[in-house]
Amino acid sequence: MADTTTTIRHGILGEGMREDRDHLIEMLTKAYWMEVETVMSYLANSINPEGVRAQEIIESLEQDVQEELGHARQYGERIKELYGVVPGSLDFNAEQSYLQPPDDQVDIVHVIKGVIEAESGAIEHYNQIIEYCEGKDPVTQDMVIAILHDEEGHRRLFEGFLREYQAEGLA
Ligand SMILES: [Fe+2]
Ligand SMILES: [Fe+2]
């Protein structure tokens, strides 16, 4: 009974929640790295594309770089609040093989598909965090729901770009 009271009083920050908190920090750290890698990928892909049709993608990704950096910061801040430590660069492992520069910099479809894959990966992981937080940590859950909304918007926008290319038989 005492344990239940402590859990209610201190929530996810309570001593009895240490294991859940550690697992959550792991999930948040993965999310943090996903955002950091997305910043790198979108930065490169907001510079490399060439051709008359590249401008829309460039402008959109320039804006996204700032948004994804903001997400990384939010994940980092929450890791700290949960008594974790934001990792250093030596712990970083790149995973976004699909967002490497294409062979030809006019290959906009490659970039669009890469962005959709990155956003889909984030959406999947963030849904898992939201589910894990249920009944444990409403603050992290709230934060991740807001970030998930951003990612769904990003994916939807790039799905629209892809549809345009598909309609013209270019994708
Ligand atoms: Fe993000
Ligand atoms: Fe995004």
The residues near 79 (Cβ < 8 Å, ≥ 6 apart) are 25, 28, 29, 32, 85, 86
Q: Which ligand is nearest to the CA of 71?
A: 1
CA 15 to CA 7: how far, in whole Å?
8
* Ligand 2 center–CA 141 separation, angstroms: 18
CA distance 78 to 95: 23
pTM: 0.93
- Nearest ligand for residue 64 CA: 2
Can you give the pLDDT of all 171 residues of the chain as single tens digits?
Answer: 445 555 667 899 999 999 999 999 999 999 999 999 999 999 999 999 999 889 999 999 999 999 999 999 999 999 999 999 999 999 999 999 999 999 999 999 999 999 999 999 999 999 999 999 999 999 999 999 999 999 999 999 999 999 999 999 988
